[in-house]
């Protein structure tokens, strides 16, 4: 134990913190300064910008108020990194938490429901360090022990020594303490504690700490997975997924892979005029054999930056596979490319639900009718409730303005759904039909259309960067293309 560290056995974590005298400000001076500041603000007639409401949305296209660099309203929504492994699912491990407060139990239980912890087994109980020591006198220890303790100094280290004596080799220990003290932190780390967390603590900070301990450091990269799903069949979810992926790959010059999960009826191969001999069915049949070499052979190279994992698109087999097969294959894909677009089928099963909710982002595509409104709201509400630490699904309203079809106004659709669409696209059968029949993308057919502009906007929202639209060359114009 280090003599340089001054232990204070009388430390009370509930005691109020007092600033040093040189940093203290007289209360009257602080009040006068605040009053002057408020007066200055009032004199300049500052006001909050009005909220964007559904009836201010353009009839077709996207709302100008939506920024490409989408603001994150909560600190809890900043859990996005493709370089540190924090967005990857935590491996299958066991965790036991010993807490001192019911609030901490609630925090850990909330973390346990996060999609990144889908393979983690967590148990919680009250009692803190003494309970942990008593419990493991006759029990094997798990992969990780979380212990909440407000102690500091000699008493804390004496109990940690007792815990060390009953821990199995390889068990990691994380302390949730009360003192934000760098000296205490260094001493804990020197003694073999894996991490020391102090309040205020939220679910994502806890998940990040555990992820850093268990995600393989030799494979830190994890691409972003975006899942597209239609509120009902025929609303164009697959078409928008394929065009958005193309826009990301060509507009942002970023590696992108489309994974067509509509195994029996998928159209990714048709939309890109590709007819590969291999498809995702080969990978799902033996998911444990999938590695970078096999992926390279199974993927269809479409452009320099875009690859396709096409669907078998045959009816000679029923693809009733376990959800872990899909998880394994998608994990291998996301380890090799920055952006993965999942084209989800319009069915509801265990693997569809697990795959959809495990994605980093969800895009729900709907048309402005009652069935789509009902289904989109069910999907939206369930996703929000199941993914409290993630962005809410993005809503795209497609095929607006079909001649002679009664439609729900966009404002009423958004009000009933409880969310404003990020994109509203017009019904343009000529452009979409020509693109589909030619095996081309919308921007290749008509780069200056509302649909092409909207898809570039959606790609920008998903990547956080502007995705440039391809300009028509002189040859294109002379030949009447695009």
pLDDT band at 278 (very low <50, low <70, confident <90, very high): confident
pLDDT over 70 percentage in the chain: 77
Q: Looking at residue 154, what is its pLDDT?
A: 85
| Half-sphere exposure (Cβ direction) of 427: Cα atoms closer than 13 Å | 13
Which of the two residues, 45 and 100, has the higher pLDDT score? 100
* Cβ atoms of residues 379 and 346 within 8 Å: no
Tell me which of 52 and 329 has the higher pLDDT: 329
- Report the first-to-last Cα separation within the chain, whole angstroms: 73
46 has pLDDT over 50: no
Confidence of residue 98 (pLDDT cuts 50, 70, 90): very high
Q: Which of 23-37, 108-122, 365-379 has the highest mean pLDDT?
A: 365-379
pLDDT band at 460 (very low <50, low <70, confident <90, very high): very high
pLDDT of residue 321: 86
pLDDT range class, residue 145, cuts 50, 70, 90: very high
| Residue-wise pLDDT tens digits, 420-445 | 999 999 999 999 999 999 999 999 99
Q: 224-478: which CATH topology?
A: Rossmann fold (3.40.50)
Rounded CA separation 43/37 (Å): 10
pTM reported for the whole predicted model: 0.70
Strands 300-301 and 224-230, how do they pair?
unpaired
3-state SS of the chain: helix, strand, coil percent to 5?
40, 15, 45
66-97 pLDDT, tens digit per residue, is 333 333 333 333 334 333 333 667 888 899 99
For the cut 70, the answer to whether the pLDDT of residue 55 exceeds it is no
Q: Is the pLDDT of residue 479 over 50?
A: no
CA distances from 253 to 23, 166, 197, 227, 339 (A): 51, 54, 39, 20, 11
User: Would you tell me how many other CB atoms lie within 10 Å of the CB of residue 414?
Assistant: 21
Alpha-carbon gap, residue 113 to 8, rounded angstroms: 38
Lowest mean pLDDT among 120-134, 174-188, 346-360, 388-402: 174-188
- Among residues 234, 307, 298, the alpha carbon closest in space to that of 272 is found at 307
- The residues near 188 (Cβ < 8 Å, ≥ 6 apart) are 160, 175, 196
227-259 pLDDT per residue, tens: 999 999 999 999 999 999 999 998 888 889 999
Look at residue 262 in the predicted model and tell me its pLDDT. 94
| Identical fold between 89-214 and 224-478 | yes
Locate the domains of the chain by residue range: 89-214, 224-478
Alpha-carbon distance values, 205 to 108, 176, 208, 450 (Å): 11, 12, 5, 41
CATH node for 89-214: 3.40.50.2300
- Contact between 204 and 81 under an 8 Å Cβ cutoff? The reply is no
- pLDDT on residue 153: 80
């Amino acid at each position: 134990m280090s003599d340089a560290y001054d232990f204070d056995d009388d430390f009370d974590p509930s005691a109020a913190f007092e600033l040093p005298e040189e940093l203290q400000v007289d209360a009257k001076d602080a009040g006068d300064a605040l009053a002057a500041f408020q007066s200055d603000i009032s004199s300049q007639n500052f006001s909050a910008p009005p909220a964007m409401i559904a009836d201010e949305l353009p009839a077709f296209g996207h709302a100008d108020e939506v920024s490409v660099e989408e603001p994150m309203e909560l600190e809890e929504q900043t859990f996005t990194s493709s370089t540190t492994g924090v967005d990857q699912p935590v491996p299958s491990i066991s965790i036991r938490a010993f807490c001192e407060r019911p609030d901490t139990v609630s925090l850990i239980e909330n973390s346990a429901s996060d999609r990144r912890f889908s393979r983690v087994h967590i148990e919680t109980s009250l009692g803190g360090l003494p309970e942990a020591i008593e419990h493991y006198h006759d029990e094997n220890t798990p992969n990780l022990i979380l212990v909440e303790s407000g102690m500091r100094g000699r008493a804390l280290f004496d109990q940690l020594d007792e815990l060390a004596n009953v821990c199995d080799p390889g068990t990691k220990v994380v302390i949730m303490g009360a003192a934000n003290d760098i000296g205490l932190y260094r001493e804990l780390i020197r003694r073999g504690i894996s991490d020391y967390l102090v309040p205020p603590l939220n679910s994502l900070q806890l998940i990040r700490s555990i992820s850093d301990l268990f995600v393989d450091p030799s494979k830190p990269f994890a691409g972003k997975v975006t899942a597209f799903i239609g509120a009902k069949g025929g609303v164009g979810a697959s078409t928008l997924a394929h065009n958005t992926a193309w826009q990301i790959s060509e507009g942002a010059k970023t590696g992108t892979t489309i994974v067509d999960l509509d195994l029996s009826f998928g159209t990714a191969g048709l939309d890109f005029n590709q007819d590969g001999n291999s498809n995702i069915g080969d990978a799902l049949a033996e998911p444990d054999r999938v590695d970078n070499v096999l992926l390279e052979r199974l993927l269809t190279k479409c452009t320099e930056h875009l690859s396709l994992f096409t669907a078998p698109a045959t009816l000679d087999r029923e693809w009733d596979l376990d959800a872990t097969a899909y998880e394994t294959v998608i994990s291998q894909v996301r380890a090799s490319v920055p952006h993965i677009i999942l084209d989800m089928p319009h069915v509801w099963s265990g693997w569809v639900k697990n795959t959809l909710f495990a994605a980093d982002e969800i895009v729900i595509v709907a048309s402005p009718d009652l069935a789509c409104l009902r289904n989109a709201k069910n999907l939206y509400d369930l996703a929000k409730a199941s993914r409290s630490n993630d962005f809410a699904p993005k809503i795209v309203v497609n095929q607006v303005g079909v001649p002679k079809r009664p439609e729900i106004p966009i404002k009423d659709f958004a009000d009933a759904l409880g969310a404003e669409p990020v994109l509203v696209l017009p019904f343009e059968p000529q452009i979409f039909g020509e693109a589909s029949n030619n095996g081309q993308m919308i921007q290749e057919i008509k780069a200056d259309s509302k649909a092409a502009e909207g898809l570039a906007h959606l790609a920008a929202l998903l990547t956080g960067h502007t995705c440039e639209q391809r300009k028509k060359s002189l040859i294109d114009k002379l030949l009447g293309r695009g």
